Structure 1
Amino acid sequence: MKTARWLSGFAALMLALPALASTTTTADAVAMIERNARAAHSDAVLVWKDGKTLLELQPETGEEPAHLMSATKSVVALAIMLLLDDGKLASVDEPVSNIFAEWKQGRKRDITVRMLLDHTSGLQNVANAGEELEAAPDLVKLALAAELSSDPGATFSYNNKATNLLPGIVERLAGEPMDAYLEKRLFKPLGIARYTWLKDGAGTPLGMAGLSLSARDLAKIGQLLLDGGVTPAGTRVLSERSVALLTGASARSPDVGFLWWRIPAWERYELKGQMAGFLAQHEVSVPVQQALLATGGRVFDSKSALIADVAERLGAEWPQHYGSEITRRGLKLSDMFDIQRGPTVAYAANGYLGQHLVIVPQQRVVAVRLIHRRDSHRAPLDDYATFPADVFKLAQALQ
């Protein structure tokens, strides 16, 4: 199974959060996205307002499907919602043990489908998914065999391993592989014909990543959610209940819904006191300690600004350093920074390398940025972490 190295928590960190409104004009905002997208070597950018194109960038050779990385998770969540709409899943609070009897005994009997969708299952996970998951012959069995690192439902922790169980659930309840089910229930109604989906050795589509789509086809999924589950042709694909479930706040984190990220109007990050002792106590490496402590005395007006500062200090390999020294130790930004958050104004699917789908409901904007994996990728510049923030500035300019 040839996949990229997905870092647990990396996709979450790369989600750029917007600052407060400015007086930027629509033309200026569109020009800013185009300029920043080109500087980040984007392979495709598409911005729609009410389904009409405001900006489209693609290679002269034509638009090729790009690997969505962890943005795949958001499409997997749609498969679970379709099961719910089809009556094949009774509730998102259904115990997974009712589907996989292996979990009837022990604490894992308390894990529900909801917990797999909002990263609160408590299943053991590793910071770098490539270390454990990439070569696994059967990712569903691997997830089923995982131990618990925390009580089910108690803690939010971004988890690649847990999401790989979702395709197994879809196949059990739908009676067919997840990609076949989604082709029939989602892709065909949206006119999506070109896609690929990486599979493990057992032939199961990956849940943590693996789907490749073009920018236009990914935007169609965003438009479907924006329109409350109805296609442009008027066909209802998802119920309004399912759309609301996908984007509603998790009980353990306001940042997430069901494998969709919730973007606030503004955020503020400030390093907490006594962090030197805290990081040393958790045995964080000296370079990562220094990068985090260097943010002291400053207030960052977005997650993207904070992460960009840390990334610059750690260098191109910063995701690996951060994943092994922070995420692997069970630490979160909220453990190290005082965070203030405004109201949710947008939703996003995003992934490693800077794959983004952003939906801004009030201004009815759908925006996609994709980049193909290449050896010349320069992180964090080519990740275009500020894309969601730039899209929100454009949405504000459209008011």
Structure 2
Amino acid sequence: MVASGGNQLPRGTPEAFGVASGAVTAFLEAAEATGQELHGFMLLKRGTVIAEGSWQPYEAGRKRLSNSVSKSFTSAAIGIAVAEGKLSIEDAVVSFFEDEVPEQPDPKLSGMRVKHLLTMSTGHDVDTVVPVLKSGETDWVRAFLALPLAYEPGTVFKYNTGATYMLSAILQRVTGERLVDYLQDRLFAPLGIDNSAWDSCPAGITAGGWGLSLTTEEMARFGQLYLQQGMWEGKQLIPAEWASASVSPQIGNGDDPDSDWSSGYGYQFWCNRYGTYRADGAFGQIILVMPAEEAVLAFTSSLSDLSQILNAVWAHLLPALQKGSEPLPNEAQALEALRAKLASLEIAPPAAAIGVRHGGEHAEYLFEDNALGLASLRLHGEDEGCTIVWTLHEKTYAFEAGGEAWAISQWPSAPEVYHAEAKPVPADAAAVGRWQDDGSYLISIRLLDTAYHDAVHVRFEEEGHASITFARKFSVTPLHVGTLQAHPVQAARR
């Protein structure tokens, strides 16, 4: 079955498409057993969703930062522009920016072509986004072109987010449209990707290599589009030749036959083992396409080791998907077990200490001045959570952390990753507060539109004072807060 547009892909049972429900359950259990954290997934077979789920407090249908999955969308835009005659992958990069080239460029720069940006073979020996930002230059194109090259372009693979940004800048030069706007009618609308939001640089150029927010289903549709060689609802959104070339090895990136990071790199897609490929965003935002199996797996997560999840796919899902598409006999018990598993998916809150209290229940603390605009912390009764009051642009927010279960409210975040000047903005977050064995109080926070985890750790000191530390995981943007001192407003104790 070929998937089409609309707001939802069709749904079906695994057995109806030749896949055993037990294999999907086994994959979920194996993935959870790794200790890596999935947030949501969707499995397609022949364009139909045969399994999907979200780990609470994360929700299906919520857009979140896809990180470097954005790169694969940028590749699609370049392919469309090539078909429209706007550029060629053999064009020299400097030909688009003659007014931006430094007086004494690296001699190898003239040999850099669009195809080298696409294949991460620009000749740099670092990811250029880092030195570009450190340069302090607000014109990122100029900063990129001024960087030295260690190799001849096209000879060495080096992952390079700055290269994808340059693709976006080139597209804007040749079309007169920002990347996010260029794709609106050509890709987003036909795929049913609504309200597309994509970060941009200080000059207003779409970031290209990061910053596109998508739902899990929108990610799955994009994977299905490539599985269908760029065809959607009878319309060739992406040229078939481009779609095929994009997901085929264009440059070598290693020689380990057991690694999914050394099977070759295409045009902003990673090639995997077993004839599969993926769009890959930091911390486990993944679109995995299995062409021979006519299958797509999209998932969001906060991962430190993607290989463990991919290995679970290869061990449990891939063999089941390889058995063909002929319907299997109904296995009511296995299907019910899968449905029960999907209904029970949850990120368990951190464990609470038993019988340990500092005596700070019902106490309220005022923060010293800080970058996040946090004003005060109020601890509620035993196992009743807490409230953190914070302000932004003269508006006050009350952030709630549950005592027994996740509570959802708004927390300050800086979602525009790679922006040195990114400022906190209100973001939906789930939180729970738990007393720890040492008498401290730990607030675990999940920013629901990202992979970010924040932690606020309250340690009580003499005379009712407290020191509060902050940490952020699974984020490219540092959390510059440090340790704050908090002073008691009242010390009413139970």
> What is the TM-score when the length of structure 1 is the normalising length?
0.66
Greater share of helix: 1
Q: CA deviation at 1:174?
A: 1.4
Residue of 70, 76, 79 corresponding to 2:77: 79
1:118-139 deviation per Cα after TM superposition (whole angstroms, max 9, x unaligned): 1111135249x56753886343
The equivalent residue for 1:159 is 160
Aligned residue identity for 1:119: M
The 5-angstrom pairing of residues 103-114 of structure 1 reads: 103=101, 106-114=107-115
Residue of 245, 259, 265 corresponding to 2:268: 259
Given the superposition, is the C-alpha separation of residues 131 and 78 from structure 1 closer, same or farther in structure 2, using an over 3 Å criterion? Answer: same
The equivalent residue for 2:276 is 346
Residue of 315, 318, 321 corresponding to 1:395: 321
1:242-271 deviation per Cα after TM superposition (whole angstroms, max 9, x unaligned): 112212221444511111111122xxxxxx
8 A Cα contact 1:30 1:54, kept in partner: no
Counterparts of 2:153 and 2:72, CA distance in 1: 21
The equivalent residue for 2:455 is none
The equivalent residue for 1:325 is none
Does residue 91 of structure 2 align to residue 97 of structure 1? no
Does residue 373 of structure 2 align to residue 379 of structure 1? no
Q: CA deviation at 1:143?
A: 1.7
Counterparts of 2:268 and 2:127, CA distance in 1: 18
The equivalent residue for 1:358 is 288
Counterparts of 1:146 and 1:130, CA distance in 2: 11
Counterparts of 2:187 and 2:212, CA distance in 1: 14
Q: What are the ranges of 5 or more consecutive residues in structure 1 without an aligned counterpart?
A: 1-23, 266-344, 372-376
CA RMSD of aligned residues (A): 2.7
1:25-84 deviation per Cα after TM superposition (whole angstroms, max 9, x unaligned): 733321123324555432210000011111101257442112111221111111110111
The equivalent residue for 2:362 is none
Counterparts of 1:158 and 1:97, CA distance in 2: 20
The equivalent residue for 2:239 is 239
Residue of 38, 44, 51 corresponding to 1:42: 38
Counterparts of 2:320 and 2:207, CA distance in 1: 34
Deviates more, 1:158-167 or 1:379-388: 379-388
Does residue 198 of structure 2 align to residue 189 of structure 1? no
The 5-angstrom pairing of residues 32-71 of structure 1 reads: 32-38=26-32, 40-58=36-54, 59=56, 61-71=59-69
Greater share of strand: 2
Counterparts of 1:157 and 1:370, CA distance in 2: 25
Counterparts of 2:195 and 2:75, CA distance in 1: 20
Q: CA deviation at 1:190?
A: 1.0
8 A Cα contact 1:354 1:383, kept in partner: no
Counterparts of 2:139 and 2:38, CA distance in 1: 33
Counterparts of 1:103 and 1:245, CA distance in 2: 30
Counterparts of 1:73 and 1:378, CA distance in 2: 19
The equivalent residue for 1:341 is none
Given the superposition, is the C-alpha separation of residues 36 and 173 from structure 1 closer, same or farther in structure 2, using an over 3 Å criterion? Answer: farther
Q: CA deviation at 1:223?
A: 0.9
Counterparts of 1:167 and 1:76, CA distance in 2: 7
8 A Cα contact 1:41 1:382, kept in partner: no
The equivalent residue for 1:137 is 138
**Matched residue of 1:362: which SS?**
helix
The 5-angstrom pairing of residues 222-233 of structure 1 reads: 222-231=223-232, 233=233
The equivalent residue for 2:406 is none
Q: CA deviation at 1:237?
A: 0.6
Does residue 21 of structure 2 align to residue 27 of structure 1? yes
Q: CA deviation at 1:378?
A: 6.6
8 A Cα contact 1:197 1:206, kept in partner: yes
% identity of equivalent residues? 26
Given the superposition, is the C-alpha separation of residues 110 and 103 from structure 1 closer, same or farther in structure 2, using an over 3 Å criterion? Answer: farther
The 5-angstrom pairing of residues 111-130 of structure 1 reads: 111-126=112-127
Counterparts of 1:43 and 1:199, CA distance in 2: 26
Q: CA deviation at 1:386?
A: 3.5
1:277-306 deviation per Cα after TM superposition (whole angstroms, max 9, x unaligned): xxxxxxxxxxxxxxxxxxxxxxxxxxxxxx
Given the superposition, is the C-alpha separation of residues 38 and 56 from structure 1 closer, same or farther in structure 2, using an over 3 Å criterion? Answer: farther
The equivalent residue for 1:296 is none
8 A Cα contact 1:125 1:161, kept in partner: no
**Matched residue of 2:218: which SS?**
helix
Does residue 148 of structure 2 align to residue 147 of structure 1? yes
Aligned residue identity for 1:237: L
Q: CA deviation at 1:188?
A: 0.8
Q: CA deviation at 1:221?
A: 0.9
The equivalent residue for 1:316 is none
Aligned residue identity for 1:56: E
8 A Cα contact 2:251 2:264, kept in partner: no
Given the superposition, is the C-alpha separation of residues 25 and 229 from structure 1 closer, same or farther in structure 2, using an over 3 Å criterion? Answer: closer
Counterparts of 1:26 and 1:380, CA distance in 2: 27
Given the superposition, is the C-alpha separation of residues 177 and 153 from structure 1 closer, same or farther in structure 2, using an over 3 Å criterion? Answer: same
Count residues with an aligned counterpart.
289
8 A Cα contact 1:67 1:210, kept in partner: yes
1:225-246 deviation per Cα after TM superposition (whole angstroms, max 9, x unaligned): 1111111x21221111111221
> What is the TM-score when the length of structure 2 is the normalising length?
0.54
The equivalent residue for 2:458 is none
Counterparts of 1:388 and 1:132, CA distance in 2: 37
8 A Cα contact 1:33 1:387, kept in partner: yes
Deviates more, 1:55-64 or 1:219-228: 55-64
The 5-angstrom pairing of residues 311-322 of structure 1 reads: none
Counterparts of 2:324 and 2:111, CA distance in 1: 46
